[in-house]
Structure 1
């Protein structure tokens, strides 16, 4: 965030950015600590790391934690205008681009797992075995790497060799050498999220049909699964809006620099941090088994689970 040298706003903007950077650091630290506690809880009980939905949940926690950490590091580097070799930035950005996509793709897989658990209970154990889940994770990483490969391939095809030795502030935007690079990146991301919306809607419709015909405990479990699917859809929506943020920010920058700072700060909090902080709510707090174990480790073993 190299806004310090701007002649607009003077010291008041400089102080405003300082305050906001501190707030971001506090938020990131809080969310990373929560995620770390959830990850420790996951590995403490065998039932969790042998069950499909909890394994996929752990994948989202790890990818979200990585993105929170790396985006914060890049934010600090840009704020203090610390440059690095472009080739090093390429490596960092490649990993960041990969893990930005892993979370929504994993959310889609988790939605399909809920669909199979509720609508295909007799085949759920077979389809969502530990082995199948590991294979699913490999597929998730493979699918998530495609947008990253496309973005970097465009850059490699257009950039001269001398660019790799230059120093620059590290940002994904440095790979957008031409306007069409940005258009291709946006088109690929929008296509991915459109495709991911299809199983979300499909699962929602199928689960709601089952919910109408279920009774007793089955009905309660089915409606809980439906609420989980809705939360997944909300997360995906926030991730999708994040892809539109660069276009909005570029337009606002042409109007007013102070407004640009406010909009970019809001976008980072709302569409970058917020979607990656919903995972603890969806499973860490709403799932009864996980929540009981979480309470035990949160209170350093002082909490005893009652049977």
Structure 2
């Protein structure tokens, strides 16, 4: 969401039709996402056996992280579309949640890949750190790692001389909290490091998982399914990590004279922020046989209760 908030509100408010179209595209995705996440989190809360597996704990953490990211980013999206201004003291927490959760998603997916690698390579002697009752330590480390840079960036950022953190209304943008000229360089350097690190982990773990799968499962159907899962995971991770390169992609796309900065930022936000988080429940949830059965029961139960309530009214 930080790439969207760096675009001036004047560029997005000049065309009311464009604003309406963007809102009408984002809101349905937002509603469908919340419905899917609600069903999945209700399933996890109703069946405690899922919380005894490191894989499902990480998946649940991914759902919570993406929910916070979607809520904060859509709220920022609506605020920018409306051209609203707030004091920095109110913008900073919202931007912090959006930036932190956005950076956390690829790291969670890389951790899930490592968990699958450990589970396949060491099925009987799993390292203690990857056991279900200790996986929370890894989750806590991920939270701390992703929070360090935004906290330092916002707390030590340079504001304009006439900006009062408590009273001056400003556009709720990421660049408002730090106007340092060197900030863009360090931000790009950090994003490249994250992209390279996550890509290395993903390629290594997925290749090893695929090789181990070929050794342990001789039937072609299982191997084909594993390969399809790898491709789907890789596609989602590519979209998530591409969000880190928004500065480069926006500059390249804006070389086309007919593209407005606001439209480019919205395209990046929709393709690399919303779509990957919409794919998360499908890839990691609906493709899992155990989860799919419980999801179906939860949906049928909710629909039956809704029908009973409607008939009673």
TM-score by length of 1: 0.85
Name 1:276's counterpart in structure 2.
277
**Is 1:231–2:239 an aligned residue pair?**
no
Distance 1:161 1:15, change over 3 A: closer
Name 2:299's counterpart in structure 1.
298
Name 1:3's counterpart in structure 2.
11
How far apart, CA to CA, are the structure 1 residues paired with 2:175 and 2:228? 36
Name which of structure 1's ranges 225-234 and 88-97 shifts more when overlaid on structure 2. Answer: 225-234
Is the contact between residue 157 and residue 180 of structure 2 (CA under 8 Å) also seen in structure 1?
no
Name 2:120's counterpart in structure 1.
118
SS of the residue aligned with 1:130?
coil
SS of the residue aligned with 2:91?
helix
Is the contact between residue 52 and residue 129 of structure 1 (CA under 8 Å) also seen in structure 2?
yes
Name 1:10's counterpart in structure 2.
none
Name 2:31's counterpart in structure 1.
29
**Offset at residue 210 of structure 1 (A):** 1.5
Name 1:139's counterpart in structure 2.
141
How far apart, CA to CA, are the structure 2 residues paired with 1:301 and 1:30? 16
Higher relative CO (Cα under 8 Å, sequence separation at least 6) belongs to: 2
SS of the residue aligned with 2:275?
helix
How far apart, CA to CA, are the structure 2 residues paired with 1:275 and 1:52? 22
How far apart, CA to CA, are the structure 2 residues paired with 1:179 and 1:257? 28
How far apart, CA to CA, are the structure 2 residues paired with 1:191 and 1:163? 34
**Offset at residue 244 of structure 1 (A):** 2.4
SS of the residue aligned with 1:3?
helix
Question: What is the number of residues matched between the two proteins?
Answer: 295
Name 2:71's counterpart in structure 1.
69
**Offset at residue 72 of structure 1 (A):** 0.8
Name 1:9's counterpart in structure 2.
none
How far apart, CA to CA, are the structure 2 residues paired with 1:125 and 1:291? 29
CA deviation string 1:228-284 (max 9, x = no partner): 444333222212222222444356568647543443332222111011112111221
Matches of residues 40-55 of structure 1 in structure 2 within 5 Å? 40-55=42-57
Name 2:6's counterpart in structure 1.
none
Distance 1:278 1:205, change over 3 A: same
Matches of residues 78-117 of structure 1 in structure 2 within 5 Å? 78-117=80-119
Q: CA RMSD of the aligned region, Å?
A: 2.7
TM-score by length of 2: 0.84
SS of the residue aligned with 2:43?
helix
CA deviation string 1:173-210 (max 9, x = no partner): 32341331011112112212211222212212222222
Distance 1:175 1:247, change over 3 A: farther
Name 1:193's counterpart in structure 2.
195
How far apart, CA to CA, are the structure 1 residues paired with 2:150 and 2:213? 39
**Offset at residue 155 of structure 1 (A):** 0.9
SS of the residue aligned with 2:11?
coil
CA deviation string 1:127-180 (max 9, x = no partner): 532222111111111222233234225515x66594413211112132341331
SS of the residue aligned with 1:66?
helix
Is the contact between residue 37 and residue 67 of structure 2 (CA under 8 Å) also seen in structure 1?
yes
How far apart, CA to CA, are the structure 2 residues paired with 1:4 and 1:99? 25
- Where does the alignment leave 5 or more consecutive residues of structure 1 unmatched? 7-12
- Where does the alignment leave 5 or more consecutive residues of structure 2 unmatched? 1-8, 305-313
**Offset at residue 221 of structure 1 (A):** 5.6
